[in-house]
A and B are shown apart, each in its own frame.
Chain A
Amino acid sequence: MKCHNRIDLRPSRRAVLSGAATAGAALLAAPFIARAQAAEIPIGVLLPFTGSQGAYGPDMRKAAEITTKLINDAGGILGGRSFKLFFEDDESSPTAGLAATKKLLEIHKCQAVIGIWGSPIAMAIKNVLIQANTCMMVSGAANAITDGDTKGLVWRYQAKATDWGPGMAKAMLSRGWKRVSILAQQNPFVIPMIEPAKKVFEAAGGQVVDSVVYNPDQPSYRAEVQRIFGASNPPEAVMCLGLLTDFVSIVREVVRNGYKSKVMALSIAADAEGKFIQAVGPDVAEGIEHFQPSPPLGSPTYARFQKLMGADENALFLFAGNTHDQVCTLALAMEKTKSTDSPVFTKAIREVCNPPGEVVGDVVEALKKVRAGSKIAFAGAGSDCDFDERGDQLNRHFGHFRIEKGKQVLVQVIKGPEGTL
């Protein structure tokens, strides 16, 4: 019987080959699927749609699509050529992000890769893009992304991580909180915020009572919350540096135990495009304050962007605006240099973005002015889009908010030279 079974189980060569052939078919079919029209300019958009960062991708995708439609409908660039976007999911993983980037470069022949939310993913694909002489526009904050020889190809649409800490500390000091604790996630963009923040507190005569760094994806944060919030002499406020999922658990734990210390979080966690209040409800969220490099709130460009996204004037888009700006600056720099070649058009990014020049926020109007030869300073919906020579942001806005009755209320906007306030 046993012997009979074994004979049954042996696969035929045909079965093995057909299995392998089916699996390989998709790969072989690839070049025929992806051949784009010659006139279109292929742009790769690498975003997290799944995995731990999956919540941040969809709005950025929408912004990229809307902005591209705006440009293409107005006649495109370079005398009628239009942008064609290719989206890839980085699965919140550097290895998957790398494979996806290779697909964007090799199959779709993308002239630039934009989006790029997570810092580890940006770090993993940076060398590949630089080697391929392809422009890379990121929303990641880790300082290391723009370090080293980038050939001028790497552009950051987010404030550098080391610039966040001092700003947040100053915002907390402005609320009169001097005895504070820090509860931070072990994460490449969060950790560099801690030391600069501590220095600002100490310089202002404040005190950082305790700080705890926790690991992402923990099943519970009870021990950390008890140590920080439940201390015998609890701090006036706690600086919570984390992402949405861990912050939701932390806040629930704080409320359940009735701890009284105020909470100051990153907007990426306490707003997360509205997902935080959805998760915990307005009662639990009441009174939580948050801070982050923000869009230029109140500016005409941002107001227009909110309308484009189909949102009301209270909507806070932390990353979608960056994607909008990435598409716009690509178009402007390509139009300016009459080239879709990354090493060429990246040289003009500062020229069309930085002052001096007429401040323009509408990309269609900005394109007309560039064609007419006038000097403009593009102001985006995610930031004012001013860059230093390394591709890092200048003149960044930081927003300080409070959650009241389920709504985000702006406490103050701080704009600082060099992002240091």
Chain B
Amino acid sequence: MTAYLVTILILVCIAIILGLALNLQWGLCGMVNFGMAGFFALGAYAAALVALSGAGTLAGIVVAALICAATCGATALVSLRLSDEYLAILTLGFGEVIRLVTLSESWLTGGSLGLPGIPRPLWGWVSEQNYELLFLALLVVVVLALFLVLEVLIRSPFGRAVRAVREDDTVASTLGKNVTMLRVKAFAVGGAIIGIAGAFHAYYLTYVDPSQFSAIITAYTFMAVIAGGRGSNKGLLFGAATIMCLIEGSRFLKDIVQVLDATQLASIRLILIGLGLILFLIYRPQGFLLEYRLRSSSLLARSSLNGATRMHDFKQEAS
């Protein structure tokens, strides 16, 4: 039982990391990324190849983050004049390109056979039976670190400027913000986080192949962000956990329901997952939590305590 829960929690953690990335790119900056699965694959393959070459699993994570950041940044740069729907199409196409490259360049990626035997981080520190617990602990640390970094980022001048771009890029640019650079930066940082998620996916499965990176990953990530409340990282933690509980928890349905056979229940299960999400969106369209907002009341309270420094902040917010 414990090991099954550990597996689910590991999958939840990876989903949360992906969700954090999308929450930055789409939730905060308003840039739709339909190529999540492709960038995720890129990170997984990069980490797998580096780790398999013997350079170490940490190097794998770093390289995966850098490559994904560079590719995401480049995608944002290419889509300079594209926004909303057009960016969605571009990222969708880009994700598909990555999938096809992993499928076709078999000298590098093993083609459809994939790459087996990927080394795992901290392997050998504990016994094989307890390894997954250690892996989960490592992932929780990574999730917490990323969560804190992003929370600070959201509250920083950069975070406010990025949100201003999301709300109205003309206004932001009129106020002297470099909209292009802000978009490229936000997308690249999101890309780095997707790369980290990809690396941990590769290390956990110890095997990557193109069939793991289907478009459903993009869909699940969007669901997690929407369920959590777009822009809210705290909400995302609930959102990702809810989606995974819905997906995995529904497996227990057939242990209770004896009327239908396994084949019928398998199909009904997927319908129920969809139904659950639709109902959730009808009754809680705003998600679990709202995004962080700077409030004038709290600002005024603080400024009365420490007027000079807070006024400085306030000016930055206004600009």
List residues of chain A with CB under 8 Å of any chain B CB: 6, 9-11, 15-16, 19-20, 23-27, 29-31, 33-34, 47, 49-50, 54, 57-58, 61, 87-89, 91-95, 98-100, 102-103, 105-107, 118, 120, 123-124, 126-127, 131, 142, 144, 147-148, 186-188, 191-192, 213, 215
The verdict on B128 contacting chain A, using a C-beta distance below 8 Å, is yes
Contact between chains at A89 and B266 (CB < 8 Å): yes
Complex: A2 Cα to B77 Cα, angstroms: 35
Contact between chains at B103 and A49 (CB < 8 Å): no
Residue from B3, B113, B245, B284 within 8 A of A23 (CB atoms) = B245
Tell me the chain B residues, 106-157 only, with Cβ under 8 Å from chain A.
Answer: 106, 111-114, 116-117, 128
Q: How many whole Å from A182's CB to the nearest CB in chain B?
A: 16
Counting chain A CB atoms within 10 Å of each CB, the highest count among B4, B246, B254 belongs to B4
Contact between chains at A30 and B252 (CB < 8 Å): yes
Measured between beta carbons, the chain A residues less than 8 angstroms from B11 are 95, 99
Q: How many A-B residue pairs have CB under 8 A?
A: 152
14 contacts between A and B (CB under 8 A): A19-B284, A23-B246, A24-B241, A25-B249, A27-B5, A50-B267, A89-B251, A93-B212, A98-B205, A99-B248, A120-B112, A124-B207, A188-B111, A213-B104
Contact between chains at B249 and A23 (CB < 8 Å): yes
Tell me the chain B residues, 1-20 only, with Cβ under 8 Å from chain A.
Answer: 1-5, 7-8, 11
Given A49-B262, A99-B11, A123-B207, A186 and B103 contact (CB-CB distance below 8 Å) = yes
Counting chain B CB atoms within 10 Å of each CB, the highest count among A54, A147, A188 belongs to A188
Contact between chains at B249 and A27 (CB < 8 Å): yes
Contact between chains at A20 and B205 (CB < 8 Å): no
Complex: A368 Cα to B139 Cα, angstroms: 52
Q: How many whole Å from A304's CB to the nearest CB in chain B?
A: 23
The verdict on B261 contacting chain A, using a C-beta distance below 8 Å, is yes
The verdict on B170 contacting chain A, using a C-beta distance below 8 Å, is no
B231-260 interface code vs A (CB 8 A; 1 in, 0 out): 000000010011001101111111110000
Complex: A142 Cα to B216 Cα, angstroms: 25
Complex: A57 Cα to B264 Cα, angstroms: 11
Q: Count of B residues near A, CB < 8 Å? A: 53
Contact between chains at A124 and B212 (CB < 8 Å): yes
The verdict on B206 contacting chain A, using a C-beta distance below 8 Å, is yes
Q: How many whole Å from A234's CB to the nearest CB in chain B?
A: 26
Counting chain B CB atoms within 10 Å of each CB, the highest count among A50, A95, A103, A118 belongs to A95
User: Contacts A33-B252, A58-B263 given; 10 further ones with Cβ under 8 A?
Assistant: A20-B242, A23-B242, A26-B249, A26-B252, A29-B252, A89-B269, A92-B211, A95-B212, A102-B4, A188-B111
Stretch at the interface among B179-187, B286-294, B305-313: B286-294
Measured between beta carbons, the chain A residues less than 8 angstroms from B266 are 49-50, 54, 57, 89, 91
Q: How many whole Å from A219's CB to the nearest CB in chain B?
A: 12
Q: How many whole Å from A92's CB to the nearest CB in chain B?
A: 8
Q: How many whole Å from A410's CB to the nearest CB in chain B?
A: 29
